[in-house]
Structures are given as C-alpha cells and as structure tokens.
Structure 1
Amino acid sequence: MFANKVVLITGASSGIGAETAIDFSKLEAKLVITGRNKENLEKVAKSCQENSPDNLKPLIVIADMNVESDVEKVIKATIAEFKQLDVLVNNAGVLESGSIENTSLDQYDRVMNTNVRGPYHLTMLAAPHLVKSQGNIVNVSSVTGMRSFPNVLAYCMSKAALDQFTRCVALELAPKNVRVNAVNPGVITTGIHMKSSMNAQEYEEFIKKCANSHALGRAGDAKEVSSVILFLASDAASNITGVTMPVDGGRHAMCPR
C-alpha cells in the first residue's frame, strides 16, 4: 500500500509515533523517523526493519522540534536520502499539567513551541515536496483540542491551535491535491501522562478513571491511533481533507455530570 512512498514521522521514539512507524513498515513504506532519544529510535528502527517485507531500515534523524536548525536538518536529510516525501506525520508533542493559577510563561513557551511551532515550521519546509508528490499530512492532535479540560491549559490551547492549523493548511493545499488531516486521541496508554507529572500510582488511578470518562469504558492503545493515521495517509481516504478525527472511545461526545 505504501511501497515506494517516503513517510516522515516526528516523535517516533515511543508511543503513537513508534507504533505508527512499525505499521507503515509492514506496508513497505520508506521511513524517516525523528526524535531526541537516539537509543529508543534505534530500537524502533530495528522493529521497523524486522516488520518490513523488504527488510527496509528507516533513516534515523536525531532532532529536537524546538531547534530550527534541527527541523531544517530533518527535511534536508529526507530529500538527500530519498529525493521525495509523500507523507508527513507531525506526531512529536509534549503534555504538561498546569492551570491559569499555577502555570508559567516558560510552560506556555515549552508546550506551544513543541506542539504548534515545531509542526508549523516542519510543514512549511515539507510543503513544496508534498506538492510535488501530491502527498498528504497527518497531524497528531488530541481530544483536548476539541473539548475543554481543567489543569492542562497550555496543552489544550496548543492542540486547538493544531486543529485550526490542520483545517487552514488543508484549504491552502487542496488545490494542489495535498490532503491534510488530524487524529484526536483520547487517553492512550503510552506513558505520556507519567512523563508529564504523575507517579506510577497516580497513573494507575488515572487509567482506571477512564472507565467513566470514555464512553467505551477504557483508555485506548497506540495501535488504535496508528491504524487511523495509516488510513488517513492512504488512498482509502482520498476524498478526506481538513478533518480532525476523534480516536477517543467516544470521549468527545460525552458531557459527564
């Protein structure tokens, strides 16, 4: 399905990004995976190669989406290696908790830079190559972009911005036959919440609480998100652009009382 297609995935060293890379590998994609953790990226690359029918090894680019020269390096390395780009998956993201009473401008900058400025910059540089290949973009957003939640203020704002970015860029690139969509996961058991501010016990209780906060009665897993990313990036979704698709066990439709 993705034979001879070049797919670039940011934040591919763990969670949804890693799962998505492995799934693309199974369908013969030529992969570029980026992230900050070299050791983790190498493990993901190994899994990708093992799952690839043609034994293809991904190109690894160590990059921080907050560093402009790193973002430029990602596109340069991709085009130098493969001479084309067909799919961009903007997945790199950071989650931090904080309310208007205890947040800081530093937190705002960290979250907005990683979750909005990074994809904005990378997409800007990738656009000419995607126009040439008539490729597409999938942004990894969140249910927090569609609904409001307390105590994750900067994160909610960043994902709402990413959703609007998705729709605007979809309209801008549609005349050139480049599709742009987003997936909006609910709680997914990737460990991102533990990285943000929770210890193991708090995380366990948080996942249990998902039985009430998600209509399907549970948190999701990374595979359930990666399968939708692959669908949106595939020709099966050839008439879909500008959507922000919840993959959240129904959480976006709920209004718990």
Structure 2
Amino acid sequence: MTDTPIPPPQNLCGKTAIVTGSSRGIGAGIAVGLARRGASVIINYVSPKSKGTAEGVLQSIRNNGGSALLIQADISSIEGIQHLVEESVKFSLSKKIDIVVHNAAFGDDCYLEDITPEFYYKQTNTNLKGPIFLTQAILPHLPSHGGRIVLVSSISARMAFASQTVYAATKAGCEALCRCWAAALGKKYGATVNCVNPGPVATEMYWESDPEFLKSMESIIDATPAAPRVGEVADIVPLVAFLCSEESHWTTGSVLNANGGMLLI
C-alpha cells in the first residue's frame, strides 16, 4: 500500500497574496503552495516571454480548485508597481493585500572589474527598489492585523562569491529591510516581516549561473550538513507558507535559513 500525501493545512483561506517573479522556479512553487493552502494568489511576471510559463502556474492552481490571477508588471518601475497593486486590490474579495512575497530578482554574475552602471541598476532596481516601493504601495491595503511580508534572500548575502558583488549586496540589503520593516510596521500596521535564506536551489536561474561559480559550489554542496545535494523548490515553499500564516504571528524580523545548514560550513 502506498502512502497518501497529506494535504497542506487550509490556513490561508480568505487571504490575498502577491508573489513577485512567480512564473517559474521558487516563485512559481510559492504561488502554488500558497494557493493550496487557500490563498488567492497573484502570479506576477515581467516579460512576454515569461507569459507561457506563468499561464502554466495559473492553470496548475486552477486545476486544483485554487484562485489566482496573472498580472504582467515590472516591479523595477514605479508604474509597474502601481499597476500590480491596483489590479491585485481589484482581484481581492476583501480589497486587502494580506501577503506579499518578494521573490523576483536578477542574479547575473559579474566580477567587480566588469560591473557597469547598467548591470548595477538592472539588479538593484529589481532586487531592492522593487521590494521597497512595492511594500510602500501595499501599506494602505494591508489588513488591520495579520499582514505578512516575506523577502527571499540568499546565502550570497553571507558567503563570499567573487562574481556576485552586486547580487550579494542586494540580498544582504533584503535582510536589512526585513529588520527595519519588522520594527516599523508591527505596531503601526499589525504586520510581520521575515526573510527566507535559501542556498542553491535546482531552478533555471541557478543552472544558468556562471560556470566558474557552479564549479566553486560543488565542494560546498557536498559538505552541506543536511544532505550533500542542491536544494529543491519543495524545500523552500513550506517555510515561506509558515511565515505567511497565523502560526508565525510571534515571528518577525527573522531570517529563516532554508539552505540545509550551508552557512555553517
């Protein structure tokens, strides 16, 4: 007899969640995971070339009886953020945004000698400007209690990778935003703010990394305390879902490591 998978708890029913960069990879997994727990999910993608994969995420949610909306919006621009928030509020039955997961990120590798202003702004506009101004824009639409903001960081925020000057700085910045916002938004808005710090996860973004970086990761992956492997999207989703739920109400300003203990190496 085979074991029947235990369905996730329906602890997000009635909630509306924005998941940025959710057409593929970790973001897609988070969108599906929150929908399985009862949330109505906004699937966000940037470019027309991502529309097909985003529609696949939408269909997956609807096939399982969930509620979701597809919104093309570039969170690196103020106009894109405004469009995302306006359409999300229209979609929400309560006209509130209960959950925001800041997952969208550019993670291209570049050595210090080769960084251009264009490269710098491409990453910082999405990885830092986007979360800052999207969070600002949703503040009037948070519920009076129980709002949840989650930022997706990276082990790059705390480990030394020579080709990740800008990316590492933006991810360290996300962890700083988490602490600042937890202090600022708790009493005033009744919201918690937390961060999830994944290690390498088997997504397209990871496998598209610089070959030298991938080579440098092999010994680190082999030494990972939990298991000698790359992480999976399924390793990350339940932790994000927990931080989005009422069960996490006494957790704020925290960084939850989802990297198999890699930062202990």
TM-score, with length taken from structure 1: 0.90
Q: Provide closer, same or farther for how the CA distance between residues 100 and 206 of structure 1 changes in structure 2, counting only shifts above 3 A.
A: closer
CA positional deviation for 1:128: 2.1
Q: Secondary structure at the match of 2:105?
A: coil
Asked if 2 retains the 8 angstrom alpha-carbon contact of 1:210 and 1:218, the reply is: no
* Residue among 47, 50, 54 paired with 1:41: 54
Deviation at 1:64, TM superposition (A): 1.3
In 2: Cα distance, 1:240 partner to 1:64 partner: 30
Q: Which of the numbers 133, 158, 165 marks the counterpart of 1:153?
A: 165
* C-alpha deviation, 1:249, in angstroms: 1.1
Structure 1 residue corresponding to 2:186, chosen from 174, 180, 205 = 174
Asked if 1:165 is matched to 2:165, the reply is no
**Contact 1:4–1:29 (Cα < 8 Å) also in 2:** yes
Aligned mates of 2:116, 2:224 — CA distance in 1: 30
Which one of 241, 250, 255 corresponds to residue 230 of structure 1? Answer: 241
C-alpha distance in structure 1 between counterparts of 2:158 and 2:143, whole Å: 28
Gaps (5+ residues) in structure 2?
A: 1-10
Q: Match of 1:246?
A: 257
Deviation at 1:207?
A: 6.6
Contact (CA 8 Å) 1:84, 1:133: kept in 2 or not? no
Distance change >3 Å, CA 192–CA 206, structure 1 → 2:
farther
Tell me how many residue pairs correspond in the alignment: 248
Alpha-carbon contact 2:12-2:34 (below 8 Å) kept: yes
One-letter identity of the residue aligned with 1:211: I
Cα distance change of structure 1 residues 143 and 100 upon mapping to structure 2, 3 Å threshold: same
Offset of residue 99 of structure 1: 2.0
**1:134 has 2:146 as partner:** yes
Indicate conservation of the 8 Å contact 1:33/1:58, yes or no: yes
DSSP 3-state at the match of 1:8: strand
Match of 1:72 in 2: 82
Q: Compute the displacement of 1:132 (Å).
A: 3.2
Q: Structure 2: how far apart are the matches of 1:114 and 1:196? A: 18
Q: Please report how far the alpha carbon of residue 209 of structure 1 lies from its aligned counterpart in structure 2 after TM superposition.
A: 4.1
What's the counterpart of residue 199 of structure 2?
186
SS in 2 for 1:85: coil
For 2:143 and 2:211, the matched residues in 1 are separated by: 42
Encode CA deviations 1:83-133: one digit per residue, 9 max, x unaligned: 111111010011111122222222111111110001111111012222535
Q: Which amino acid aligns with 2:132?
A: Y
Partner of 2:103: 91
Displacement of 1:67 in angstroms is: 2.3
Separation of aligned partners in 2, 1:131 and 1:3:
14
8 Å contact kept, 1:185–1:225:
yes
Moved more, 110-119 or 143-152: 143-152
Letter paired with 2:105:
G
| Amino acid of the structure 1 residue aligned with 2:172 | A
The 8 Å contact of residues 31 and 57 in structure 1, kept in 2 or not, is answered as yes
* 2:4 corresponds to: none
User: Which of 2, 12, 16 lines up with 1:2 in the alignment?
Assistant: 12
Cα separation, partners in 2 of 1:13 and 1:127, compared to 1, 3 Å:
same
Amino acid across the alignment from 1:108: Y
Which runs of no fewer than 5 residues in structure 1 stay unpaired? none
1:103-114 matched pairs, under 5 angstroms: 103-114=115-126
Given residue 55 of structure 2, which amino acid in structure 1 is its aligned partner? E
* Aligned-pair Cα RMSD in Å: 1.8
Tell me the TM-score normalized by structure 2: 0.88
Letter in 2 for 1:233: C
- CA distance in structure 1 between the partners assigned to 2:109 and 2:223 by the alignment: 18
Q: 1:42 to 1:206 in 2, by over 3 A?
A: farther
Q: Distance in 2 between matches of 1:139 and 1:60?
A: 20
- Partner Cα separation in structure 1 for residue 125 and residue 29 of structure 2: 24
Aligned to 1:81: 91
> Do 1:89 and 1:139's aligned partners in 2 also have CA atoms closer than 8 Å?
yes
Separation (CA, whole Å) in 1 of partners of 2:17 and 2:23: 15
